[in-house]
Amino acid sequence: MAPKSKVPTLAETNHSINKLQKALNAQRIETNNFETRDNKEEHKKASDKMAEMEKELIRLKKMQDELSKLKKT
């Protein structure tokens, strides 16, 4: 029998979202620091990383919504 894929619980998803939001806030500060120092190359890298983190946050929030709906039924 094939192993079942583990679906994260609502609590695990909430924890991941909180952790990612903290990391995203730190990344925003780092990105702004590079912009202030006029370091265009590092600013671009930091901005790209921030965009990836934001995409992941959106994905996790959608998962959170779906898990919340399942919990209510």
- In tens, the pLDDT along 1-49 reads 445 668 789 999 999 999 999 999 999 999 999 999 999 999 999 999 9
Domain ranges, residue 53: 20-72
Residue 33 belongs to a domain: yes
Counting the structural domains of the chain, the total is 1
pTM for this entry: 0.81
**AA letter at 28:** R
Residue 11 belongs to a domain: no
Task: Provide the b/e sequence for 6-36 (b: ≥16 CB within 10 Å).
Answer: eeeeeeebeebbeebeeebeebeebbeebee
Residue 9 belongs to a domain: no
